[in-house]
């Protein structure tokens, strides 16, 4: 019995040794400095927890480089760099930097990052509650909610009164988006699927879903949305009132995501369109604006490029009494 066990062990060891001759494509690896303008404590946390997969500098341990584990490790690193690469920090505009931190913080607070499988073998990357609190306070501090200017408050209040009294002039004709997508005027009759507070760009949002999307939500099929599903994301500028409360101010924009895997194959299977302001001016100079949308939603590639987590849309049932 011992002899057989020894033979099996030698065979497995030989197979493992042979596997080491097969290696994934080599990763680029170059030093990544601290993020400019970021406090040392925050830099230390990001470097320890994020840099291995989200920067040009990767600290591979010996066990990360063994085949077949290295194929999985390298794949995670490549995907991580595509989603968020802190080495590009200096080339990012401030709003983009804020969005990157906002996205990273949300993933951390949801427990999705760092990957649990990663922290199991890289314990130093595991974040403590105190670390998360430091990241949260700093991220929030980059976009503080200052009191809204009185002029803006008065304009928003007037807009609301005009709406109530039916004095708002309706937009009778809306030009299509540069990629040819037409404005959908009845989206506010759809069901609300969620709301979001984008503190990083100072907007409050309501996301509507059409009947096809709602049915998919009710059936718990939200990983791969069916063709015909449409989302309308409306945004208002945040209004910080005198008492510190936050409410919707001036209307900012409405965006649409229209699923059609074949028709919109070049833009991740979604048709993208956006209109700005009360005049509903189409966003973008030409059809290439959609690449900006795809790039922004790239972190959610595994979730069919959709950021929003639907609310629990309860389905009423009738019971016989």
Asked if 67 and 19 touch (Cβ cutoff 8 Å), the reply is yes
- What pLDDT is stored for residue 104 in this prediction? 84
Residue 154 lies in a domain: yes
- What pLDDT is stored for residue 321 in this prediction? 40
Domain ranges, residue 115? 2-141
Q: Which contiguous run of DSSP H or E holds residue 238? A: strand 230-240
Last residue of a domain, one of 141, 163, 193: 141
- What pLDDT is stored for residue 214 in this prediction? 93
In total, how many domains does the chain have? 2
Q: Quick one: 159 and 281 in the same domain?
A: yes
Q: Quick one: 134 and 175 in the same domain?
A: no
Q: Quick one: 271 and 154 in the same domain?
A: yes
- What pLDDT is stored for residue 153 in this prediction? 66
Dist CA 52 CA 57 (whole Å)? 6
- What pLDDT is stored for residue 223 in this prediction? 87
Q: Quick one: 22 and 106 in the same domain?
A: yes
Residue 213 lies in a domain: yes
Residue 316 lies in a domain: no
Asked if 233 and 251 touch (Cβ cutoff 8 Å), the reply is no
Last residue of a domain, one of 112, 141, 170: 141
Q: Kindly report the CATH number assigned to the domain that includes residue 294.
A: 3.50.70
Q: Quick one: 123 and 98 in the same domain?
A: yes
Read off the pTM.
Answer: 0.62
Q: Quick one: 136 and 201 in the same domain?
A: no
Residue 13 lies in a domain: yes
Question: What angle, rounded to 10 degrees, do the helices at 129-141 and 94-109 form?
Answer: 150
Asked if 175 and 270 touch (Cβ cutoff 8 Å), the reply is no
Q: Quick one: 36 and 136 in the same domain?
A: yes
- What does pLDDT average to in each consecutive run of 10 residues of the chain (321 residues)? 61 59 71 87 88 84 68 77 85 81 82 79 82 88 69 69 65 88 92 82 87 92 93 87 70 94 94 92 90 82 87 56 40
Q: Quick one: 161 and 297 in the same domain?
A: yes
Q: Quick one: 52 and 33 in the same domain?
A: yes
């Amino acid at each position: 019995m011992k002899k057989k066990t020894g033979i099996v062990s030698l065979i497995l060891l030989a197979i493992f040794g042979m596997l080491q001759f097969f290696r994934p494509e080599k990763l680029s690896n170059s030093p990544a400095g601290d993020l400019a303008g970021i406090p040392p404590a925050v830099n230390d946390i990001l470097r320890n927890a994020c840099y291995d997969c989200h920067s040009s500098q990767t600290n591979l341990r010996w066990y990360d480089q063994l085949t077949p584990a290295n194929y999985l490790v390298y794949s995670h690193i490549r995907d991580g760099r595509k989603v968020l690469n802190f080495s590009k920090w200096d080339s990012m505009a401030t709003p983009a930097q804020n969005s990157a931190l906002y996205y990273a913080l949300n993933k951390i607070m949801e427990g999705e990052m760092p990957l649990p499988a990663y922290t199991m073998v890289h314990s130093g990357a595991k974040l403590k509650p105190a670390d998360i609190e430091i990241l949260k306070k700093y991220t929030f501090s980059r976009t503080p909610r200052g009191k809204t200017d009185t002029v803006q408050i008065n304009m928003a209040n007037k807009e609301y009164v005009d709406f109530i009294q039916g004095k708002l002039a309706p937009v009778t004709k809306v030009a299509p988006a540069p990629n040819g997508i037409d404005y959908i005027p009845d989206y506010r009759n759809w069901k609300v699927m969620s709301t979001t507070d984008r503190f990083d760009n100072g907007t409050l949002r309501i996301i509507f879903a059409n009947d096809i999307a709602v049915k998919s939500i009710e059936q718990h099929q939200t990983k791969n949305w069916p063709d015909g599903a449409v989302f309308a994301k409306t945004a208002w500028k945040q209004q910080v009132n005198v008492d510190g409360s936050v409410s919707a101010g001036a209307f900012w924009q409405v965006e649409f995501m229209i699923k059609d895997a074949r028709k919109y194959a070049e833009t991740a299977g979604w048709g993208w369109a956006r209109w700005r302001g009360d005049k509903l001016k189409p966003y973008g100079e030409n059809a290439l604006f959609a690449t900006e949308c795809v790039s922004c939603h790239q972190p959610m590639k595994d979730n069919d490029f959709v950021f929003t987590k639907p609310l629990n849309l309860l389905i009423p049932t009738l019971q016989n009494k």
